A and B are shown apart, each in its own frame.
Chain A
């Protein structure tokens, strides 16, 4: 059978090509997504702790749910460990040294007062000088830091600022912007210096600069020579206690708050996993359609085989074997393509912020093997149904001279389609009130249902369009009209593909536009400040800055806001097993600068462990007075009492905490913005005062209200780019399926055209007929897509919050046009090529 399959494949290269391309693309997606995930899941490496054998940090885990539903998330920076813990670890036999490590986010300002660029896409961090030996950073020039104003820079930072030993610099720290003196330059490997920017200060100074008080972020352990690391690690873990986590060498960098990679990689994996599922589903569906069509066209050949004595089992093995073969080869091709695309893919992901700086896709064999297997498995699965149908008829029927017997759509397919639509409606009812979040899911479900029901839901309407065409007079429209009426399956398939592309892309477009507009609107409503101070570097704003702004003449209030996270563990409040974005602020100071539109309770009561929550979070589950089981940003447990519920959360956070509490547990004890409100009539004075403040302290940039809102808008646009990248592959697959199904439809159609030419139709009339038909199909497809989007987005605006549905007409118009154009191209280009062939070649031929 294999030999037979191979031989038959050789002469069927044409029709196998379409299947091959779609399978190869699907395999590429699987391989690429797999490689990205595998790279993201791989151990993050030791990073700055390269010379250590183990690293201890407080338990970073937040656990949602229990038992089977238990989901854990690691926080960015765990709670600090005290000196006692360091001593305990140092006392473990076999430990040569236990170094308490601290990371303080800083920005080193150049002579012009501009912050030096740090490597790795995060802020530069200062550490105590003992930490230098952990990498190691070796002193290249000058001496180690001793006094409170001494600082040693890493070679790359020094070079960037043109700084050498003896220079004076200003350094932005959470404890304020202070003048310091460069006492030396230290260097590590080029890789390490590209990974993160480091500076070193005297040991006690590091602790003082954190703005949080004494405590260490991690304890790095160096073993005595000759000690087995594994066995040592266990004893260290025991000494550290049950509330600590001990990491081995390969995972050590996860404990370094200065290194963003480990943390961002996890996020990347989550994103790839979620979008990969839907992409794979689309790939399978498209391939199934293609294969069904291809098998259908071979009916006669299969009937002949059976007439000559092939049992149904043999025919099945032949078809499936052939398809599996194509699938395997397509899988290999997909892997090769994925290997080529790995570099650009990593670059794009990093560019839009989905992957950490320096993310590289390393080759693993498992994603490759999976992709190859996927190619074959998907091909076989997809053709099983088609093969079953092919074998259901008797050879006699199949050999009948009639060109295409009238086929009714299978009951199974109709039922599945109705189930998908029903499922979509159910989802819409249950989740629809959450507005815009789930519209992508709705759109996908409805589009799937529409595709399954295509012959009836799209093919028939296309046929109806054919009625006026038929009557319109003129040979071309007559031909087009009849073709539409009888080709329901074919036209339905192309229209469904067009609808799918529109469903995916347009829903994304509307969702993004709506959420961003809402954020902008809400932020504008909330921001009453005259001027806003924002950080000029990733090091943030020292909390002292808000105090200074308060002291300016004419200022009514100046509120520093620190953005952090709070995880809620109570049922129904878990936010999909993810922490909520939270804002720490002083309510008294915020009163003039930010208007949160409090719905219940009083914002002034926010202090200590009393918090305010957003209306979205509270829903109908939380009321003023409730106590919530929470974990703060460093995984510290806390019981928080709700004292207010507010409305304007977009762009700020769904939990408002006391400023000091937030600072104490945030990843970095810095403000992300300071909102300054002026007394009536003093706006101009305040604006000038704030500008002066920013000039004096280059940690900050001064913006007026409009400038700040413009910045929010720009950040939203960046987010949008990242979101588009996420669905890009999905949309691409759907787009290819439009072209593919168009070409298949054209191929099937070709047979019907020869008799038309023989009856006297000119080449032009035939092409016109095809064009009219293609336009009708595209119209139905676009209508179907728009219908899906409309239904999927119908829940938006119903949740009563600010901002209804926003339709970016330009973008949507582009999507509709592109989808229609793809469909037209797929249907017409092959036809135009075929029309050039001499008439005799097409007439009376078997296939």
Chain B
């Protein structure tokens, strides 16, 4: 397992406290597993093979980064793993649920509780406040989360005082933090993040990464991050490299330099 959280910018930030004790991280079944997954986009002349017979497992309670040059299929891989897209062939399991068997409704229910997302941008509905955005997955599930709990979730990402602001009134980093609060509120097993810091300045990026890292270390969640930035990848416990839709390399306990080296090798 990797070392503890990286150096944090010393600004006041509440440490993340989970209501109930975290289960110890042990070797167990992978949280997400892909087997022989193939996915193509487009048709005719425009046909592109995004994923070519990929088999991959993501460990429970660990942070995994997916890296690769653009066009390598990493976003497609994430979307298939998360149930946002359906592979043409192969199997995707989250826990012991086979995603390729599920219909749209079941997949939607999955996304409320068992799986959380953070995208690079446009994570929030512009017409809802931060509070309302955070509560959204639970409300879609038909529940009425208590205001306290929603505030607490926002508090954990340090934005309790911005609860009633709309996304347009928040900076990029603040929006990402709200997105993380939303991703966490349903107590998901797995969090998928697609370039979560891609549009942020360094300080905000550090905060976001710290939050995500804490979710893994202190709450035992599984994290899968797609990124092109070696610094971000270095925060993970393991990095997998994709090129041309196939697994190209695998690195455990990464450092930024090692990652950068592998990337250069791939792009050569």
| Chain A residues in the interface with B (C-beta under 8 A) | 4, 7-8, 10-12, 300-301, 304-314, 391, 394-397, 399, 846-847
Contact = CB atoms under 8 A, between A and B. Distances in A.
Nearest to B113: A309
A306 B79 contact: no
Interface string B117-144: 1010111011110001000110111000
Nearest to B123: A304
Contact of A310 (B85, B122, B140): B140
B144 to A, nearest CB: 11
27 contacts: A4-B128, A4-B139, A11-B127, A301-B126, A304-B123, A304-B125, A307-B111, A307-B117, A307-B119, A308-B136, A309-B109, A309-B111, A309-B136, A310-B108, A310-B140, A311-B105, A312-B105, A314-B108, A391-B104, A394-B84, A394-B86, A395-B84, A396-B76, A396-B79, A396-B84, A397-B85, A847-B126
B177 interface: no
B182 interface: yes
Contact of B122 (A306, A394, A846): A846
B74 interface: no
Contacts of B122: 300, 304, 846
Contact of A11 (B123, B126, B137): B126
Given A394-B86, A396-B79, A399-B84, A308 B117 contact: yes
Contact of A305 (B105, B110, B125, B182): B125
Contacts of B111: 306-309
B169 to A, nearest CB: 13
Given A394-B84, A397-B85, 19 more contacts: A8-B127, A8-B128, A301-B125, A305-B125, A305-B136, A305-B140, A306-B108, A307-B117, A307-B119, A309-B136, A309-B141, A312-B108, A391-B104, A395-B84, A396-B76, A396-B80, A399-B79, A399-B84, A847-B126
B112 interface: yes
Give the interface centre of A307, A308, A391, A399 by most chain B CB atoms within 10 Å: A308
Contacts of B109: 309, 311
B216 to A, nearest CB: 21
A7 B140 contact: no
B137 A309 contact: yes
Given A308-B136, A309-B140, A396-B84, A12 B112 contact: no
Contacts of B104: 311-312, 391
Given A308-B111, A309-B112, A311-B108, A7 B141 contact: no
B134 to A, nearest CB: 11
Interface in B93-115: 104-105, 108-113
Contacts of A12: 127
A306 B110 CA distance: 11
A396 B77 CA distance: 11
A395 B139 CA distance: 19
A394 B85 contact: yes
A4 B186 CA distance: 19
A12 B126 CA distance: 10
Nearest to A306: B108
Interface of B: 76, 79-80, 84-86, 104-105, 108-113, 117, 119, 121-123, 125-128, 132, 136-137, 139-141, 182, 186
A298 to B, nearest CB: 11
Contacts of A306: 108, 111
A307 B141 CA distance: 13
A8 B108 CA distance: 21
B203 to A, nearest CB: 21
Give the interface centre of A304, A307, A310, A394 by most chain B CB atoms within 10 Å: A307
A399 B119 contact: yes
A399 B123 CA distance: 11
Contacts of A394: 84-86
Contacts of A11: 126-127
Contacts of B84: 307, 394-396, 399
Nearest to B104: A312
Contact of A396 (B85, B108, B121, B140): B85
A374 to B, nearest CB: 28
A7 B112 contact: no
Contacts of B105: 311-313
A160 to B, nearest CB: 67
Give the interface centre of B79, B182, B186 by most chain A CB atoms within 10 Å: B79
A138 B23 CA distance: 103
A408 to B, nearest CB: 10
Contacts of B113: 309
Contacts of B125: 8, 301, 304-305
Contacts of B76: 396
- 5 smallest A-B Cβ distances: which pairs? A396-B85, A309-B112, A396-B84, A11-B127, A396-B79
B128 A7 contact: yes
A10 B127 contact: yes
Contacts of A308: 111-112, 117, 136-137, 140, 182
Given A7-B132, A306-B108, A309-B137, A846 B121 contact: yes
Contacts of A304: 122-123, 125
B108 A309 contact: yes
Nearest to B108: A311
A101 to B, nearest CB: 70
Give the interface centre of B85, B86, B119, B141 by most chain A CB atoms within 10 Å: B85
Contacts of A399: 79, 84, 119
A10 B129 CA distance: 13
A549 B86 CA distance: 94
Contacts of B123: 304
A688 to B, nearest CB: 85
Contacts of B136: 305, 308-309
B104 to A, nearest CB: 5
Give the interface centre of A300, A311, A846, A847 by most chain B CB atoms within 10 Å: A311
Contacts of A312: 104-105, 108
Contacts of B137: 308-309
Contacts of B85: 394-397
A846 B86 CA distance: 25
Contacts of B119: 307, 399
Nearest to A309: B112
Contact of A7 (B79, B80, B127): B127
Nearest to B117: A307
Give the interface centre of A7, A12, A300 by most chain B CB atoms within 10 Å: A7
Contacts of A313: 105
A8 to B, nearest CB: 5
A399 B119 CA distance: 10
Contacts of A305: 125, 136, 140
Nearest to A318: B140
Nearest to B141: A309
Nearest to A846: B122
Contacts of A310: 108, 140
Contacts of A301: 125-126
A846 B132 CA distance: 20
A304 B111 CA distance: 11
A610 to B, nearest CB: 76
Contacts of B139: 4
A646 B44 CA distance: 67
Nearest to A310: B140
Nearest to B186: A309
Give the interface centre of A4, A314, A396 by most chain B CB atoms within 10 Å: A396
A85 B44 CA distance: 87
A399 B80 CA distance: 13
A391 B86 CA distance: 15
B23 to A, nearest CB: 24
Contacts of A311: 104-105, 108-109, 140
Nearest to A11: B127
B30 to A, nearest CB: 22
A790 B1 CA distance: 79
A700 to B, nearest CB: 75
A8 B110 CA distance: 24
Contacts of A309: 108-113, 136-137, 140-141, 186
